[in-house]
Amino acid sequence: MLQAVINAFKIPDLRRKILFTLAMLAIFRFIASIPVPGVDRDGLKEFVQNNELLGMLNLFSGSGLQYFSIAALGVYPYITASIIMQLMTPIVPRLTELSNEGQQGRNRINQYTHWLTVPLALLQGYGQAILFSRQPSPSGGTLLEGFGLFNGETALPTIAILLSMTAGTMLLVWIGELITESGIGNGISIIIFGGIVASLPGAVGALVTGSSVSSNVMGTIMFALIGLITIVGIVLINEGQRRIPVHHAKRVRSGRVYGGNTTFIPLKVNSAGMIPLIFAVSIMVFPGMIAQFLASSNREGLRNFAGDVSHFLSPTTVQYNIIYFLMVVGFTYFYTMVIFQQQKIPENLQRQGAFIPGVRPGRNTQLYLSRVLNRITLVGALFLGLVAILPFIASRITGVNTLLLSATSLLIVVGVAIDTMRQLEAQLMMRNYEGFIR
């Protein structure tokens, strides 16, 4: 491994890409530390850490949300816009036509995604700011002072805050695209990866200096073992695939014979990645967010209803984790089928004169691939559901409630690390160097 790193820095082009990526991550961390005015940083940090949805958004912002920096929204609005565009592509005829136009069409869809990111960032920023402006601060007042869009005295500062947060999101998206073009690739994922890794030393320190290590040594050791087993399982599931053999018919053109070889279609066990977890968490914590707004209502009935909803959907309850598990499994199947339909594998095989041995082209190929994908997705869906509720299970088994990484964090860290290593491996192998993976 050390020799592979040395070899990577010996290659000028690869060294430039690695150093450029590190420089962009340093700029990202600097942006994430610039707060907007009027924020009680200590009180806001405590409030974010105790809220499941805000904790996930803080993850995507690289801990920028807990300080309410100009990068507090992170790249989450862009991820949401990308998911919306992916789901709308097979529904909207215009988007379907663009998806069939090659790279030019994909560039146009990417442009639409950027346009959609701006209003989503404005709405998300306004919602978060309104929530913080209504939460009492431990030092008195509220967590965010001087925020009000429909107040003459606070309108201009409010607009300035929203525009700066939206600009921060678009700046992070631009940095991610720079990493994709001039760095080591996967720019948006590396931005999220950098935010998670940056918060890891603090989480490790909290676990080591906390009471869990001294009062529950065996529980802490079991907690570490569960974490290691989960990482190994994520690697195996992410890399697991079912290879469907494909035979290409022989064709004669200008006296030459083409085709006749056999390849395969790699159907991944986990084709959906972390998207089902994002869907499920967003939906599960949305009623709790509404309940927080209603908790300050003047009507006693609404306050009691908000308290009941918050208690029922608390992440520490059994019913919450059961519903969470079922939603992750369901969204995994849903998103996998959406991705499979967009790939149009049966049509492409028929157009290329290829076929699966023993399966007729066309609709029969579609049904066969769907059956195989449903079977292997069951394993991936159950695993994702298990990883999603792993913090709850681990805390019950070990008694340790300080979690270093959530389920989504583990999937992102492991997935991005594997993809980055694979890209560096390809660069080294092209230049006849021994790579990272042996």
- Type of residue at 371: R
Running DSSP on this structure, what letter comes out for residue 144? B
Query: For residue range 20-51, what is the model confidence (pLDDT) as tens digits?
Result: 989 998 898 888 888 887 787 778 877 777 76
**Beta bridge partners of residue 69, listed in sequence order:** 35
> Is residue 208 within 8 Å of 217, Cβ to Cβ?
no
CA 243 to the chain's CA centroid: 26
Tokens encoding 411:
């999937």
Q: Determine how β-strand 354-355 pairs with β-strand 241-248.
A: antiparallel
- Where does a domain end: 173, 189, 209? 209
Q: Which residue has the tokens 């805000």?
A: 54
Q: Which residue has the tokens 């215009």?
A: 94
The reported pLDDT for the residue numbered 107 is 86
**Structure-model confidence comparison of residues 277 and 384, the more confident one:** 384
Query: For residue range 317-351, what is the model confidence (pLDDT) as tens digits?
Result: 888 888 889 988 998 998 888 888 877 888 888 88
The reported pLDDT for the residue numbered 403 is 52
Number of neighbouring beta carbons within 10 Å of residue 155: 12
Domain co-membership, 77 together with 125: yes
pLDDT band at 166 (very low <50, low <70, confident <90, very high): very high
Tokens encoding 407:
């389920």
Domain co-membership, 56 together with 170: yes
Q: Is 423 part of any domain?
A: no
Q: Is 358 part of any domain?
A: yes
Domain co-membership, 271 together with 387: yes
Domain co-membership, 299 together with 356: yes
Q: Give the total number of structural domains in the chain.
A: 2
Domain co-membership, 241 together with 352: yes
Domain co-membership, 9 together with 158: yes
- Where does a domain end: 185, 209, 233? 209
Running DSSP on this structure, what letter comes out for residue 50? T
pLDDT of 86 strictly over 70 = yes
Query: For residue range 257-307, what is the model confidence (pLDDT) as tens digits?
Result: 556 678 888 888 888 877 787 778 777 777 777 776 676 667 777 777 777
- Where does a domain end: 188, 209, 230? 209
- Type of residue at 264: F
Q: Is 437 part of any domain?
A: no
Domain co-membership, 203 together with 244: no
- Type of residue at 386: L
The reported pLDDT for the residue numbered 204 is 64
pLDDT of 115 strictly over 90 = yes
The reported pLDDT for the residue numbered 205 is 64
Q: What integer best gives the mean pLDDT of the chain?
A: 79
Domain co-membership, 347 together with 234: yes
**Structure-model confidence comparison of residues 121 and 219, the more confident one:** 121
Query: For residue range 117-164, what is the model confidence (pLDDT) as tens digits?
Result: 999 999 888 888 887 887 777 777 777 877 778 777 888 888 888 898
The reported pLDDT for the residue numbered 326 is 92
Domain co-membership, 136 together with 225: no
The reported pLDDT for the residue numbered 173 is 92
Residues 85, 97: Cα–Cα separation, whole Å:
13
Domain co-membership, 137 together with 284: no
Work out the average pLDDT over 222-230.
77
Residues 231, 410: Cα–Cα separation, whole Å:
7
Domain co-membership, 78 together with 203: yes
Domain co-membership, 254 together with 111: no
Structural domain containing residue 43: 1-209
Q: What CATH number is given to the structural domain containing 244?
A: 1.10.3370.10
